[in-house]
Amino acid sequence: TTQPHLTFNDGRAIPQVGLGVWQTPNDVAVTAVRTALEAGYRHVDTAAIYENETGVGEGIRAAGLPRDDLFVTTKVWNADQGFDATLKAADASLKRLGLDHVDLYLIHWPAPRKGLFVDTWRALVRLREEGRARSIGVSNFEVEHLDRIIAETGVTPAINQIELHPRFQQKALRAAHAERGIVTQSWSPLGQGTLLADPAIAAIAAKHGRTPAQVIIRWHIDSGLVVIPKSVTPSRIVENFDVFGFKLDEADLAAIAALDAQDGRIGPNPMTAA
């Protein structure tokens, strides 16, 4: 395939576009994952808390692709933080997925009030040493959480998966990632669909003969981000991957840059969540 990849600080590579499967029940996930893999996706983003790892695994097997061609991510949930609990949770996730390793295992939230994310990170380092996770990273970490795990273990996460879309562009955190050699991954990249009716996005879409979703996904790609749009609708799954045949120009990028907002966050604040 000719789809773009980004390289991690551990030498491995991640396909820049993946399928997100939050709020997708097992039976729906089977079809969505299979449809995506048949459309050319090679990257799927799930989590234990999504309760659909079984369906994701089934969809992967239904597509019949070689395991080494796929990039599968899952995440340890907040309730399973801590060294031993995380090792157990990873085992359970792999069992549900029907895989002997994931390509990326993430700490879902820092949950700083639990005080367990450093121990949890040590477990992820162990999982990588054992080959059960090829790469390890975090999600929803702020700079102070990143620096804490790096200082205490000497291991820098490959990636930080954070809320990021044109209305919440996360410029400061992205700069901190760049300084530390951490790839940035965008969750809710379409603003959970709320950005698709934005007039500035619509104007760019009309200009290129593309859809608003394609313009926003292209913006993530052109911004050097990993992007995991979610859809369970076959035509949209295909549409969201058909983004490699055009590029945004400087005027488009400037118009999207202007959509950034201080209060653009949709999801929970990582400092107080969990």
Strand partners, 19: 44
- Report in angstroms how near the CB of residue 4 gets to ligand NAD at its nearest: 18
**Residue 240 near ligand NAD by CB under 6 A:** yes
Q: Which is nearer to ligand NAD, 123 or 195 (CB)?
A: 195
Token pair in block for residue 257: 């840059």
Of residues 154 and 199, the one with the C-beta less far from ligand NAD: 199
165 contacts 188 by C-beta, under 8 angstroms: yes
What is the rounded distance in angstroms from the CA atom of residue 120 to the CA atom of residue 149? 10
Those residues whose C-beta lies under 8 Å from the C-beta of residue 23, and which sit 6 or more positions away, are 50, 230
Stretch of 61-69, 86-94, 225-233, 244-252 lying at the interface with ligand NAD (CB under 6 A): 225-233
Closest CA to 268 of 96, 92, 140: 140
Tell me whether residue 64 or residue 199 sits nearer to ligand NAD (CB atom). 199
Q: Is 93 in the site for ligand NAD (CB under 6 A)?
A: no
C-beta closer to ligand NAD: residue 79 or 251: 79
∠ CA 208-213-214, nearest 5°, is 45
Q: Which residues pair with 17 in a beta bridge?
A: 227
Note the helical H segments in 112-242.
117-129, 143-153, 171-180, 199-208, 212-222, 234-241
**Alpha carbons 118 and 73: distance in angstroms, whole number:** 20
Instruction: Flag whether 108 is marked binding.
Output: yes
CB atoms within 10 A of CB 263: 6
Given 8, 41, 50, 168, the catalytic residue: 50
- Catalytic residue list contains 50: yes
Query: Does 110 engage in binding with ligand NAD (CB under 6 A)?
Result: no
Dist CA 153 CA 170 (whole Å): 26
Among the listed ranges 34-42, 183-191, 218-226, 249-257, the one in contact with ligand NAD (CB under 6 A) is 183-191
Q: Which x/- pattern over 24-53 shows residues binding ligand NAD (rule: CB under 6 A)?
A: ---------------------x--------
Binder of ligand NAD out of 5, 22, 38, 83 (CB under 6 A): 22
Q: Which residues are annotated as a binding site for substrate?
A: 108
**Residues with a known catalytic role:** 50
User: Where do contacts with ligand NAD occur on this chain (CB under 6 A)?
Assistant: 20-22, 45, 108, 139-140, 161, 187-193, 196, 211, 213, 228-231, 236, 239-240, 267
